[in-house]
Amino acid sequence: MISIRPACADDAVALNRIYNQPSVRRFTCALPFTSLARTQAVLADETATHARLVACGADGQVLGEASLRREANPRRAYAATLGIMVDETAQRQGIGSALLAALLDLADHWLNLHKIELTVFANNEAAIALYKRFGFVTEAVLRHEAMQEGVLRDALAMGRLRQGLPRDASLAPPRPPQAPRAPFSLRAPHADDLPGLAALCSLPGICFGTTGRPFMTPQDVAHLAAPESRAHAILALSGEVVAGLAVLTPGRGRHLHAGTVESLLVHDAYQGQGIGRALLSAVLELADCWLGLSRVALAVLADQDHAIRLYESFGFEVEGRFAADIFRGGAYADSLAMARLR
Ligand SMILES: CC(C)(COP(=O)(O)OP(=O)(O)OC[C@H]1O[C@@H](n2cnc3c(N)ncnc32)[C@H](O)[C@@H]1OP(=O)(O)O)[C@@H](O)C(=O)NCCC(=O)NCCS
C-alpha cells in the first residue's frame, strides 16, 4: 500500500539516504556524499518548486520523491521541470508511476502548466520507458550533457505538451532605422549599465528573437552586474549606447564541463555591424581558454535564421527542437537546441 503526500522538513534523512544510493545516483545529478545539510537546504527552500511529493510504504517509510521546479522566466511560467527517484529496494513496484500520476494531475488540473520538461541520461532505460508511458516525447539528444561514473554521457531532453496550444505565427516587428556603423568595445557590465541593459533587453526586436520581455527594469537585470553572480556577462558599447550583450553560465556539479550561452543579443538598430560575432567569439574564448568548458549549449528560436547561421559558423550543431519553448506575441514558439563540443 503506497500513499503520496507532500514532502516536509522531517523527510530530509530519508531522502538523503535515497539520493546517496549508487544505483539512484547514477541516473540523477546528485554527487557522491551529498550531505544531509544540503538535502535539508533543498527542502527548506521551496521558492523554486511548484510541488514536492513523497511516496510512503505501509509503515510510513519514505520510498520515493518527485518534484516540479518552476521556471524563473515569466515568459515560460507555463512550463516546469520534473525530477523523480525511487528507493533502489522498492523499484518496479509502481511507485514511480504513482508519483508521476499525482504530479501530472497537479500540473494539468490545478497548476495549469502546459509543458513539463525533463532531462534523462540516454542510458536510463527504466526512466525513459516510464516517461514515454506518461506521454513524454524526446525533443533533443544533448551530447556529453553530464558526468556519470567517470564518463561524459548523452542525455535526452523530453517534453510533455498540452495539446491544442496556439502555435506561433507572429511576425517580426519592423526593423528601426539603423545606427551608422561605428567602432564598438566589449567589457564587463557595471552597476551604472543596468538601465541601458534593461532597455536593450526590452526592445521589440530583442523580445521577438529572444527570451526578453517588454518593460524590463534595472532590477530585472541586476544579477548580470552582481559580484556574486555565476553568470559571465559581456557588454558591447557603441559610444554611450549599450548595443549588445552575451551571457555565459558555467554548469555546476556533474555539469562542470558544460556552459550555457543564456543570452546573445544585439540592439535592433545596431545589427549587421559585427557585434554579435564579436560577442560570441569573446564568450567562446572565455569558455575554451579560461573556464576549460568542453560543451557549450544554447537554445535559439527556430525562426532566427541569422542567429542559427552565426552559431553554425562557430561549430554549433542542432541537437533537437523544443516544442512551445517560449510564449511570444500571444502564442507558443519553438526553439532549437544547439551545442558545440570541443
Ligand atoms: C525511473 C524510476 C523513477 C522508476 O520508478 P519505479 O517505481 O521503478 O517505476 P514503476 O514501478 O512505476 O514502473 C513504471 C514503468 O517504468 C518502466 N520501468 C521501470 N523500471 C524498469 C526497468 N528496470 N526496465 C525497463 N523499464 C522499466 C516500465 O515501463 C514500468 O512499467 P511496467 O512495470 O508496467 O513495465 C526508478 O527506476 C528510479 O528511481 N531510478 C533511479 C533514479 C532515476 O533514474 N530517476 C530519473 C532521473 S531522470
CATH number of the domain enclosing 254:
3.40.630.30
Instruction: State which of 129, 161, 193 marks the end of a domain.
Output: 161
CA angle 170, 176, 177 (to 5 degrees): 155
Q: Are 323 and 136 in contact (CB under 8 A)?
A: no
* % of the chain residues with pLDDT over 90: 92
322-332 residues labelled b (16+ CB within 10 A) or e (exposed): bbbbbbbeeeb
Predicted confidence at residue 47, as pLDDT, reads 84
Q: How many domains is the chain partitioned into structurally?
A: 2
If one compares 168 and 134, the residue with the highest pLDDT of the two is 134
Domain end, chosen from 161, 195, 226, is at 161
Candidate from 67-81, 169-183, 219-233, 253-267 with smallest mean pLDDT = 169-183
Instruction: Specify the ligand 1 atom closest to the Cα of 24.
Output: 41
What's the chain's average pLDDT?
95
Compute the distance from residue 126 Cα to the ligand 1 centre, in Å.
4
For ligand 1, mutation pick of 17, 27, 88, 91 (most atoms within 8 Å of CB): 91
Q: If you measure from the C-alpha of residue 28 to the centroid of ligand 1, how many angstroms do you get, rounded to a whole number?
A: 13
Task: Report pTM.
Answer: 0.94
- Mean pLDDT of the 192-209 span: 94
If you average pLDDT over residues 37-45, what whole number do you get?
94
* pLDDT bucket at 184, cuts 50 / 70 / 90: very high
Alpha carbon of 328 to ligand 1 centroid (Å): 36
Tell me whether residue 172 is in a domain: no
**Amino acid (one-letter) located at 125:** E
Whether 170 is in a domain gets the answer: no
Q: What pLDDT score does 242 carry?
A: 96
Residue ranges making up the domain that contains 232: 185-341
Answer yes or no: do 204 and 152 share one domain.
no
d(CA 255, ligand 1 centre) in Å: 24
Residue 223 in grid coordinates = 544579477
- Please give the DSSP secondary-structure letter assigned to residue 221: G
Q: CB of 209 within 8 A of CB of 306?
A: no
Residue 168 lies in a domain: no
The pLDDT-based confidence of 250 (bands split at 50, 70, 90) is very high
**Most informative mutation of 130, 133, 149 for ligand 1 (most atoms within 8 A of CB):** 130
Is residue 199 located within the same domain as residue 157?
A: no
- Residues 48, 190: one domain? no
pLDDT > 70: what percent of the chain? Answer: 100
Query: Does the residue 286 lie in any domain?
Result: yes
Together in a domain, 104 and 214: no
Quick one: 191 and 229 in the same domain?
yes
What are 264-318's pLDDT values in tens digits?
999 999 999 999 999 999 999 999 999 999 999 999 999 999 999 999 999 999 9
Of all protein residues, whose CA lies closest to atom 48 belonging to ligand 1? 120
Nearest residue (CA) to ligand 1, atom 30 = 130
Residues 111, 204, single domain; the answer is: no
pLDDT at 227: 84
Distances (CA, A) of 197 to 4, 189, 228, 231, 284: 46, 9, 18, 15, 21
* One domain, residues 332 and 194: yes
151 shares its domain with 40 = yes
Q: 331 C-alpha to center of ligand 1: Å?
A: 35
C-alpha–C-alpha distance, residues 222 and 118, integer Å: 28
What local confidence, expressed as pLDDT, does residue 312 receive?
98
125 alpha carbon – ligand 1 mean position (Å): 8
Q: So what's the pLDDT on residue 102?
A: 98
- Atom of ligand 1 at shortest distance to CA of 100? 12
Index of the ligand 1 atom closest to the CA of residue 97:
12
Is 180 among the domain residues? no
Pair 192, 134 in one domain = no
Same domain, 129 and 39: yes
Ligand 1 mutation pick, 86, 99, 131, max ligand atoms within 8 A of CB: 86
Residue 160's pLDDT band (cuts 50, 70, 90) = very high
Q: Give yes or no: residues 136 and 219 share one domain.
A: no
Question: In the predicted model, what is the mean pLDDT of residues 194-216?
Answer: 93
pLDDT for the residue 123: 98
Shortest-distance Cα residue to atom 15 of ligand 1: 130
According to the model, what pLDDT value does residue 139 have? Answer: 98
Whole-number Å distance, alpha carbon 340 to ligand 1 midpoint, is: 32
One domain for residues 28 and 111: yes
Question: Ligand 1: which residues within 6 Å by Cβ?
Answer: 24, 27-28, 84-86, 91-97, 118, 120, 124-127, 129-130, 133
The string of pLDDT tens digits covering residues 81-93 is 999 999 999 999 9
Q: Assess if residue 178 is contained within a domain.
A: no
Cα 240 to Cα 328: distance, rounded to the nearest angstrom:
30
In a domain, 247, yes or no: yes
Q: Is residue 42 part of a domain?
A: yes
Q: Once rounded to an integer, what is the mean pLDDT over residues 329-338?
A: 95
Of the residues 128, 161, 194, which one is the last residue of a structural domain? 161
